[in-house]
Structure 1
Amino acid sequence: MKISTDPTRPGFSDVAPGLHAPASQRTVPALLKARASAMGEAPLFSDRTTQWSGADALEAASRRAGALQAAGIRQGDRVALMCSNRVEFMEIVLGCGWLGAVVVPINTASRGMQLQHILANSGARLLVAESSLTGALATLELSALALESVWLIDDGKAAASLPLACEPMPPLGDAVEASNIGPGDTLAILYTSGTSGLSKGVVCPHAQFYWWGVYAALHIGITRADILYTVLPLFHTNALNSFFQALVSGASLIVDTRFSASRFFSSLIETGATVTYLLGAMVPILLSKPTTDAERAHKVRIALAPGVPEQFLSDFTGRSGIELLEGFGSTETNCVLGRGLADQRPGWMGRVAEGFEALVVDEHDQPVADGQPGELLLRATEPFAFATGYFGMPEKTVEAWKNLWFHTGDRVVRDADGYYRFVDRLKDAIRRRGENISSYEVEQTLLSHPDIETAAVYAVRSELAEDEVMAAVVLRAGSTLTPEMLVAHCEPRLAYFAIPRFIEFMDDLPKTENGKIQKYRLRERGTGIDTWDREAAGYQLKRA
C-alpha cells in the first residue's frame, strides 16, 4: 500500500513517526524507537495521573521487559492482564511487545467459566492484575491452569486466598535489548466477548496494530497537534488501537477509566481533547441528558463512532459540534470500511479502504449482485494486517478463514457506488413464513419511538416450529407505553411480517462489559408469563 501525503493534514508528513514504516519496522520496538527518535519529548500517553513522552514509553517498554525477563518470562510466553485504564496496562503491553512475549488482556468483568476458559486456552504463566480483581480467581480450578504467579499492580493484597505466588508488581527492571521479532509475530491475544458460546482468542500480530493505527488515523484525520481521548476499556480493540493511532501519527492519547454521561463533556474540556471515541449506545445516552454549556466549550472536532443509529447523528452534531465518523472493523480484521467525513453517507458503513478487499456472498461463498444481501467477506492486501487465527482453536480458524477470506458473520448490502450497509448479524437473522427479517431494522424502528430506552429483537420458536419475532424492550422512566401502542407505531414503518408478535417490557437487558446486548441469553429465556402475545391478544395488523 502506498500512503500519499495530504498537505491538509500537517501531521502526515514524511517524518511522521511510524506512518511510512517499512515492513520490517512494523513492530512495537521499532515503532517506539521511531517515535522517540522523531519526537522524544512530545507527550504520547497519559492516564491523568502519569504522563509519558515518546522517550518515556521507550524506557518503560525496555525496563518492563527486563522485569518480565528476570521473572522467567521468555519470547512467546503469554502474560494475562486484568487491569482498568491506567499506565500499568500499557506498560505490560509494551513490555511484552519489547520482549516478544504475548499479552492477553482480559475483560475486567470476566468471571467463572469465561475466565477459566481464557486462562486455560491462553496458557498464561503470569497474571498481572489489580488487587481488587483477584477475587475472581477464587472460584476457578487453578490446578488445571498453567498459571504460576500473580503480580498485583497496586501493591495491595489479593482479594482472596490463592494457592499461587501473589506479589506486588516488581519495579521496572534493567533495560534489555529488544527481542528479534518480526511483523507477523504475535503481540496480543484478544478474547471476543463470547455472546454465543466460548470466547475465541484472536491472535493479533504486531503489524496488525501498526495498520490499525495507520488506517484509523488517516480516516479520522489525526495530526501531530491532536489529543486523543477515550473512556473505552483498553482490553478491547477500539481503545487499544487508539494508542497506536497516537504512536504512528505523532499525536497523544489520554485515557479515563469509565464512561460518565454527566462528566463526559467536562472531561473533554479538562484534557484539551480534539478527537474522541464513542460506541453507538453512548450517543443516545448523552443526548438524553439536559443540554449544558460544556457541550460546546470543548475542542473536539470528530469522534470515531461506529454503529450510531442514523436518527441520532444530526442531533448529536448539532448539540455538541462533534462530527461522528462511521466505519467497520473487528478484532480479527482492521479499519476496513469507511473513509473520511467527506465520503460518509448516513446509514451506510462506507466503502472499502485502500489495502483491503471485500465480497458479499451467498451461503456457498458465491458473490451476489449489488443490492442483494449476503455475508461480508474480507481480506487484506498487506501481510499481517489481519489477525492470524484463533488461539488453540484450529477448527474455528479454518471455519472463519474459509476459502482464504475472513467470514465476518455480518449480512450486508453493497450498492453500485461501492458503499456497504449493515443489515444484520447472520445469527440474528429471522426467517418467518418465507420472509427474511432483519432484527437490526426492527430494532431501529422500535428505538425511533421516544419512549424506548433500548430494545433487542430476536427469533423465538412458535407453535408451528418456525421463527417468530420477539422484542425485549426497556422503557424510559415515566412511560405509559403499551404493547398495542408500540405495534401501532411499527405498522407504518415495517412490513407486516416484521412486526414483533411477542413483546416484553424489562427493567434491563443482559449485556457484556462493553455494552453489547447478549441476545443468546434472551433467546434461551424465550417467552414467559410477562410476555405479551399479539395473536393471543387478538390484535389485528393493518396491512397497507
Structure 2
Amino acid sequence: MTVPGLLAAAAEEFGDRVFLRVGDVTRTYRQSRRAAAETAGALAARGCRPGDRVAVMAGNRIEFVDLILGCAWLGAVLIPLNTGLRGQGLRHILREAEPSFLLAEAEAADRAVEAGFRGTLWIVGEDDVPVPGEAPAVPSTPARPEDTVFLLFTSGTTGTPRGVRCPHAQTVWWGRNVADSLRLTADDVLHTCLPLFHTNALNTLAHAMTVGATCVIGERFSATRYWDQVAESGATVVYLLGAMAPMLLAQPPGLHDRSHRAWRGLSPATPASAWQPFRERFGVTLVDGFGTTETNLVIGSTPEAQRPGHIGTLRDGFSARVVDEHLAPVPDGTAGELVVRSHRQFAFSTGYLGGHERQPASWRRTGDRVIREPDGSYRFVDRVKDVIRRRGENISSYEVESAVRSHPAVADAAAFPVASELAEDEVMVAVLPRPGSVLDPRDLVRHCERELPAFAVPRFIETVPELPLTETGKVRKTVLRERGVTAAAWDRATGVSPVVRPQPG
C-alpha cells in the first residue's frame, strides 16, 4: 500500500511492458523502477533525505515524472506547484510548504526566487538537475501506508489554497478505484494532457501501474490539436475535465474527430447536454465520478452504466450522506452538502498542512451540493459557495450554466451572483460563443426561459472572448464576481448595457 511497493510489484509482474511515454522518452516497467531508484540516489547525493520536501514547478516532462517516483522511492515528500502561481499566491504556498528543494523551469524559478524561495534550486535543462543514471540506485526507504507522499495544494478558487497531506495508500486506492471504474486492462494506453500538479494527472501513474497499462503524459490541452495528439499516442483511454468536453464540441468537425483508438474517458463534471453529442461525434463514452484532492473516487460510474447529468453511485468501501447546514441528513431528492467517509484505511488524505491529523474513519465535508436520487444515483448541483440566492430561492450556477451551454451558439458559460438593487443577488452569465456564431442575448434569454424556472433566468449576459481559467481548466469565478457587471454586459431588465455598479464584498 505504498507508491514504491506499487511500482516494484508492477515491475515484477509486467517487466518489459511499456509503462511510460513522456515526450521522446519511453520506459518499460522494469526500467521505470530502476529510474526511480537512481533518481532517489541522485537526490540523496544532493543531500535530500527521507521526509524532506521537494517542490516542482514545471510542465509535463520526464524530469517531473522522475521526481514523482524518485521522491516516493526515497521517502521524500513531493510538492507539485501550479505553474501559473506568482506573486502573493506563490509567496503564501512557499511559506506554508517550506520546501528545501525546488525543480523549476527557468521563468518559474525566477518567480519562485522573487517570492522568497531560498532552498536548493534546480533549473530544468541545467546540469545540476537530479536525473537517473548519474548516481547508483538505492533501495527504497521503508514507508508506511499513512506516510505523506504528496503535498498537494487546493486550487484556491473559493478561498486560500490549503496544503493537503496525501498518504501513499491514498494513491494506491486511487489506482484501484479508477482502474475498476474505467475497466482498465494491461492492453490499455492512457493519455492525459492534464497538468501533473493536479491530482487527476498525478494519479494516472497509479491507474496504469495497477493493471500494467501504458501511461502517456501529453502536452498541455489544446482543443485544436487534441485529437491528433490522442491519435499519435495510440490511446484507448483519455482523461478530461468537464469544461473540456464543450470546448472540443465547439471545434469545427473534421477527419481527426475519429482518427483515434480511444473509446472511453474519465471526465468529471461533464455537462449532461454534452454527453451524447460527445459519444456520437468522437466515439468516446465519458465516465463521470466524484473525487477530490482530499478524498478518492467515492462516487462513480462505468462505461456500461451511465446516466448523463449524474456523477454515479456510491462505490464499495465508502459511505456518503447529503446533509443540511446543520449536518442533519436530508431526504432523497433534496439538495444538500455531500459528506463522505472511507472504510479503506488511509484512502483519504490525513488532513491539511498545519492542522491536526484526521482519523481515517471521520466524515469529510466536501463543499459540494448534490441530490441523491431514490435509485441511489447522485446528481451534482453546485459548489456550496457558488449558490446564487435570488428572491428567496437558491439557484444552482451549475444548472444555469447547463441551460446556457445547451444553446447552439454557446461554447461555454459561467454563472455567478452580482449585486441587486434589492436584497440578495442577481444572476449573471459570462458566455463564450462558438467560433463563427453571433449570440443574441434576447434569444439566449428566450432559450433559458424554456429550460429554467423564471427566478433562475439570467438578468445580465456578457459575451466574452475567453473565460478566466485555472491551469486545470476550472473557471475562476472569484475573478468574475470581483469584476461584476461591466459596461459590456446586457441587462435583461432594461434591454441595454448598464452602467458599472458596486459589487458585493
- Common fold by TM > 0.5: yes
> Which residue in the other structure is 2:64 paired with?
89
Residue 124 of structure 1: how far off its partner (Å): 0.2
2:146 alignment partner in structure 1: 184
Query: Separation in 2 of the partners of 1:170 and 1:272?
Result: 27
Q: What residue number does 1:212 align with?
A: 174
- 1:536 offset after TM fit, Å? 3.6
CA contact (8 A) 1:152 1:169 kept: no
- The share of aligned pairs that are identical, in percent, is 47
Which residue in the other structure is 1:530 paired with?
A: 488
Report the AA paired with residue 25 of structure 2. T
1:406 aligns with 2:381: no
Distance 2:227 2:418 in 1: 41
| Deviation larger for 370-379 or 39-48 | 39-48
Q: How many matched pairs?
A: 496
Distance of 2:310 and 2:165 partners within structure 1: 29
Aligned to 1:482: 440
Tell me the residue number matched to 1:387: 349
Name 1:103's counterpart in structure 2. 78
Q: Which residue of 1 aligns with 2:381?
A: 423
- Look up the equivalent residue of 1:71 and give its one-letter code: R
Tell me whether 1:151 sits opposite 2:122 in the alignment: yes
2:500 is matched with none
Counterpart check, 1:247 vs 2:218 = no
SS in structure 1 of the partner of residue 5 of structure 2: helix
Shift of 1:168: 4.1
Contact 2:251 2:435 in 1 (8 A): no
* Separation of aligned partners in 2, 1:538 and 1:111: 38
Q: CA deviation at 1:180?
A: 1.8
Aligned-partner residue type, residue 327 of structure 2: D
In the TM superposition, residue 308 of structure 1 has moved relative to its aligned partner by 1.6
The change in CA–CA distance for 1:264 and 1:533 in structure 2 (over 3 A counts) is closer
Does 2:258 correspond to 1:296?
Answer: yes
Moved more, 364-373 or 498-507: 498-507
The C-alpha deviation readout for 1:446-467, integer Å capped at 9, x for no partner, is 1111122221111122122312
CA distance in 2: counterparts of 1:289 and 1:468, whole angstroms:
32
Q: Does residue 1:453 correspond to 2:411, yes or no?
A: yes
Q: 1:368 aligns with which of 330, 347, 372?
A: 330
**Residue aligning to 2:398:** 440
2:77 and 2:87 map into 1 onto residues whose CA distance is 23
Deviation of 1:241 (Å): 1.0
The structure-2 alpha-carbon separation of the partners of 1:138 and 1:77, relative to structure 1 and needing over 3 Å to count, comes to: closer
Alignment of 1:61-100 (within 5 A): 61-100=36-75
When residues 506 and 287 of structure 1 are mapped into structure 2, their CA distance, relative to the original with a 3 A threshold, is closer
User: CA 1:234 to 1:202, structure 2 compared with 1: closer, same or farther past 3 Å?
Assistant: same
Deviation at 1:501, TM superposition (A): 1.8
CA deviation after TM superposition for structure 1 residue 392, in Å: 1.9
- 1:130 maps to which residue? 105
SS of alignment partner, residue 343 of structure 1: coil
Q: Tell me if the contact between 2:188 and 2:237 (Cα under 8 Å) persists in the aligned partners.
A: yes
Cα distance in 2, alignment partners of residues 532 and 243 from structure 1 = 46
Q: Which moved more, 1:421-430 or 1:258-267?
A: 258-267
Asked if 2 retains the 8 angstrom alpha-carbon contact of 1:128 and 1:169, the reply is no
Counterpart of 2:164 in structure 1 is 202
1:224 to 179, 186, 199: 186
Render the CA deviation track for 1:478-528: whole Å, top value 9, x for unaligned.
444333222222112211111112222222222111111111111122223
Q: 2:196 and 2:475 mapped to 1: Cα distance?
A: 20
Q: 1:351 aligns with which of 283, 295, 313?
A: 313
* Pairwise CA RMSD: 2.0
The range that moved more, 235-244 or 307-316, is 307-316
TM-superposed CA distance for 1:385, in Å, is 0.2
Alpha-carbon shift at residue 402 of structure 1 (Å): 12
Unaligned segments of structure 1, at least 5 residues: 1-25, 157-166, 540-544
1:221 and 1:82 mapped to 2: Cα distance?
A: 32
Q: Distance in 1 between matches of 2:50 and 2:141?
A: 8
Q: Is the 8 A contact 1:131 1:155 kept in 2?
A: no
Contact 1:190 1:203 in 2 (8 A): yes
1:45 aligned onto 2:6: no
The normalised TM-score by structure 1 is: 0.87
Q: State the one-letter code of the partner of 2:52.
A: D
Cα distance change of structure 1 residues 364 and 417 upon mapping to structure 2, 3 Å threshold: same
Deviation at 1:50, TM superposition (A): 0.8
Q: Which amino acid aligns with 1:524?
A: E
CA distance in 2 between counterparts of 1:529 and 1:190 reads 39
Q: For the Cα contact (< 8 Å) 2:414–2:430, is it kept in 1?
A: yes
**Preserved CA contact (<8 Å) 1:469 1:502:** yes
**SS in structure 1 opposite 2:43?**
helix
Which stretch of structure 1 is more off in the superposition, 260-269 or 100-109?
260-269
Contact 2:250 2:434 (8 Å CA) reproduced: no
